[in-house]
Structure 1
Amino acid sequence: MTSARQLLWTGFRGLDASAADLDFAPGGIILFARNLDPDPARGPGRCKALIDGLQARFGDELPLAVALDQEGGPVSRLRPWVGDTPPLRHIWTRGGAPACGHWGRLWGEGLRLLGFNVDFAPVLDLWDGHPEAGIGDRAASADPAEAAAAVGAFLHGLEGTGVRGCLKHFPGLGGTALDSHKGLPELADAGRVDRNASAFVPLAHADRLVMVAHLRTPASGNLPASLHRGSVAANPWGVAGRFLPDDLEMGGCADWTWSDRVRLSLEAGHDWLLVCQTAEGTRACAEAAEALPAALAAPALGRSRGLRRHLPPSQPGPLDPAAWTDWVRRVHIASEGV
Structure 2
Amino acid sequence: MERSPAHRLLWTGFTGLDAVQVQPGFQPGGVVLFARNLDPHPVDGPARCHALIRGLQERWGPLAVAVDQEGGAVSRLREWVGLTPGLRAAFEGGGAEACRRWGGLWGRGLRMLGFNVDFAPVADLYDPAPDSALGGRCASADPEETIAAAGAFLEGLEAQGVRGCLKHFPGLGGTRLDSHVGLPETLDPGAIAANLAPFRALAHADRLVMVAHLKVPRSQGLPASLSAPCVAGNPWGVRARWIPDDLQMGGAEGWSWEDKVRHCLLAGHEALLVCQTPEASLACAEAAARMPETLWAPAAARFRGLRRLLHCHAGPFQPDAWRAWVEEVREEAGSIN
> What is the TM-score with the length of structure 1 in the denominator?
0.97
- The answer as to whether partners of 1:11 and 1:30 remain within 8 angstroms in 2 is yes
Tell me the equivalent position of 1:145: 144
Tell me the equivalent position of 1:210: 209
Q: How does 1:141-180 map onto structure 2 within 5 Å? A: 141-180=140-179
Percent sequence identity is 61
Point out where structure 1 has 5 or more consecutive residues left out of the alignment.
none
Q: Verify: 1:328 aligned to 2:330, yes or no.
A: no
Measure how far apart 1:236 and its partner are.
1.6
Please give the per-residue CA displacement for 1:63-94, whole angstroms capped at 9, x wherever unaligned.
Answer: 21110000000000000000000111011112
Q: Find the residue that maps to 2:70 and give its secondary structure.
A: strand
- The answer as to whether partners of 1:5 and 1:26 remain within 8 angstroms in 2 is yes
CA distance in 2, matches of 1:179, 1:132: 9
- The answer as to whether partners of 1:216 and 1:224 remain within 8 angstroms in 2 is yes
Tell me the equivalent position of 1:246: 245
CA distance in 2, matches of 1:301, 1:308: 10
- The answer as to whether partners of 2:30 and 2:64 remain within 8 angstroms in 1 is yes
Measure how far apart 1:314 and its partner are.
3.2
- The answer as to whether partners of 1:12 and 1:277 remain within 8 angstroms in 2 is yes
Measure how far apart 1:10 and its partner are.
0.3
Measure how far apart 1:193 and its partner are.
1.0
CA distance in 2, matches of 1:178, 1:97: 29
CA distance in 1, matches of 2:87, 2:7: 34
Tell me the equivalent position of 1:25: 27
Tell me the equivalent position of 1:10: 12
CA distance in 1, matches of 2:60, 2:332: 36
User: Which residue identity lines up with residue 135 of structure 2 in the other structure?
Assistant: G
CA distance in 1, matches of 2:250, 2:274: 12
User: Which residue identity lines up with residue 267 of structure 1 in the other structure?
Assistant: L
Tell me the equivalent position of 1:300: 299
Measure how far apart 1:324 and its partner are.
0.3
CA distance in 2, matches of 1:265, 1:108: 29
Please give the per-residue CA displacement for 1:105-124, whole angstroms capped at 9, x wherever unaligned.
Answer: 00000000000000000000
Tell me the equivalent position of 1:262: 261
- The answer as to whether partners of 1:189 and 1:218 remain within 8 angstroms in 2 is no
Point out where structure 2 has 5 or more consecutive residues left out of the alignment.
none
Q: Find the residue that maps to 1:24 and give its secondary structure.
A: coil
Using the TM superposition, name which of 129-138 and 9-18 deviates more. Answer: 129-138
Please give the per-residue CA displacement for 1:11-70, whole angstroms capped at 9, x wherever unaligned.
Answer: 1111111121222211100000000001112111111111111111111xxx21110000
CA distance in 1, matches of 2:41, 2:130: 30
Q: How does 1:17-96 map onto structure 2 within 5 Å? A: 17-59=19-61, 63-96=62-95
Using the TM superposition, name which of 130-139 and 226-235 deviates more. Answer: 130-139
CA distance in 2, matches of 1:128, 1:271: 31
Q: How does 1:308-319 map onto structure 2 within 5 Å? A: 308-317=307-316, 319=317
Using the TM superposition, name which of 130-139 and 172-181 deviates more. Answer: 130-139
Q: Find the residue that maps to 2:65 and give its secondary structure.
A: strand
CA distance in 2, matches of 1:314, 1:113: 7
Using the TM superposition, name which of 77-86 and 228-237 deviates more. Answer: 228-237
Tell me the equivalent position of 2:189: 190
Measure how far apart 1:191 and its partner are.
1.9
CA distance in 1, matches of 2:129, 2:117: 28
Measure how far apart 1:313 and its partner are.
2.6
Q: Find the residue that maps to 2:201 and give its secondary structure.
A: coil
Using the TM superposition, name which of 205-214 and 9-18 deviates more. Answer: 9-18
Please give the per-residue CA displacement for 1:104-158, whole angstroms capped at 9, x wherever unaligned.
Answer: 0000000000000000000000000245443100000001111011000000000
Q: Find the residue that maps to 1:199 and give its secondary structure.
A: helix
Q: Find the residue that maps to 1:48 and give its secondary structure.
A: helix
User: Which residue identity lines up with residue 8 of structure 1 in the other structure?
Assistant: L
CA distance in 2, matches of 1:220, 1:195: 17
User: Which residue identity lines up with residue 72 of structure 1 in the other structure?
Assistant: G
CA distance in 1, matches of 2:131, 2:265: 30
Please give the per-residue CA displacement for 1:192-231, whole angstroms capped at 9, x wherever unaligned.
Answer: 1111011111110000000000000111121000001111
CA distance in 2, matches of 1:162, 1:128: 32
Counting matched residue pairs gives 334
Q: Find the residue that maps to 2:217 and give its secondary structure.
A: coil
Measure how far apart 1:237 and its partner are.
1.1
Tell me the equivalent position of 2:107: 108
